[in-house]
Amino acid sequence: MTEAIDLTDRPLDLKKTLECGQTFSWRKIREDEKTKYLTVRDRGVLKVWQEGDILYYDNYGKGVEPREVLRLDDDLEEIYGGLEKDGFMERSVLANHGLRIVRDDFFPCLVAYITSAQMQIPRIRRVQRDLERKYGRPLRFGGEEYYEFPEPEKLAEVSEDELKNLSIGYRAKYLKKTAEMVRDGVVSEGELEEMDYLEAREELRKLSGVGNKVADCVLLFSFGFLEAFPIDTWVRKVVKKKYPQLYDKKYNKLSENMREYFGRYAGYAQEYMFYFGRNCEDI
């Protein structure tokens, strides 16, 4: 049965949130003449769509809580108050009002960012769907078949050559090794949740193919470390142009400078910079 959430006091731009490039665990579908978004996790399927100030959703299976995975309890007005320190960020917030950081499951998020190097967003999404269909556990609801993202134990059994056949290329060796390490408890999701931000970032860097940027993406988009500030080419370009006094070639120093400037919501600043930088010619 379709349920609804009143968004009057919790602004949301569902399209920008799920299409801005932060998440690869959702896919866009067309159903009942509506554009909807679908995610499969926790032995269930969640479909969401927005009409004005109402978020509608259908839950199948055990149930996925939209308030949690879309971070609807984040107080955006408070966050904006901490971010709007300059004209550029004021424009970014105005242009992308309602864009929220998501909370994806750990392992799918980790895999997506390990395989994302030198890939365009559509290709990353395609790789995620291929991994699901080939190695994920199937679910059936309403006559439709869906696939969960494979567990690390499953991907650890897959050969590097098989992974390469999914257009993962040289990243296959990193993916396989990381799946083995997560399976073997070298890095534990539960332990990461108990660490502070810098400690968790160093812990994630133990994994194959995980550097500072991938670690920051996972900490921001899966664990909710909202101070994390991932730096890619787009963000570096924006910072260099708009915040030259904070710019540094070294990742750690630049990340530290931006965290000090924007504070505990630096991750939101980063996502607004990323989206604005990619979609607006005049930054």
CATH label of the domain that carries residue 138: 1.10.340.30
Same domain, 121 and 87: no
- What percentage of the chain exceeds 90 in pLDDT? 87
Give the number of other Cβ atoms within 10 Å of residue 141's Cβ. Answer: 15
Q: Are residues 150 and 134 in the same domain?
A: yes
Q: What does the DSSP assignment read for 189-218?
A: HHHHHHS-HHHHHHHHTTSTT--HHHHHHH
For residues 34 and 129, state if they share a domain.
no
Which residue, of 221, 239, 255, is where some domain finishes? 221
Q: What is the pLDDT of residue 283?
A: 54
Domains: count for the chain: 3
Token duo for residue 91 = 């424009």
Residues 18-54 pLDDT 10s = 999 999 999 999 999 999 999 999 899 999 999 999 9
DSSP string covering 137-161, please?
Answer: PEEEETTEEEEPPPPHHHHHTS-HH
Question: Is it the case that residue 176 has pLDDT exceeding 70?
Answer: yes
Q: What pLDDT, on the 0 to 100 scale, is given for residue 75?
A: 96
Summarize the confidence of residues 139-166 as an average pLDDT.
Answer: 94
Same domain, yes or no, for 252 and 190? no
Are 119 and 196 members of one domain?
yes
Domain boundary among 206, 221, 236: 221
User: 198-254, pLDDT tens digit by residue?
Assistant: 999 999 999 999 999 999 999 999 999 999 999 998 899 999 999 999 999 999 999
Residue 174 is given by DSSP the state H
Residues 9 and 62 grouped into a single domain: yes
Q: Mean pLDDT across the stretch 92-117? A: 95
Same domain, 69 and 80: no
Stretch 154-177: mean pLDDT: 94
Position 282 scores a pLDDT of 62
Model confidence at 280: pLDDT above 70: no
281 pLDDT more than 60:
no
Q: Are residues 94 and 111 in the same domain?
A: no
**Predicted TM-score (pTM) of this structure:** 0.95
**Domain span including residue 254:** 74-98+226-283
Give the pLDDT confidence of 249-267 residue by residue, as tens digits.
Answer: 999 999 999 999 999 999 9
Is 165 found in the same domain as 65? no
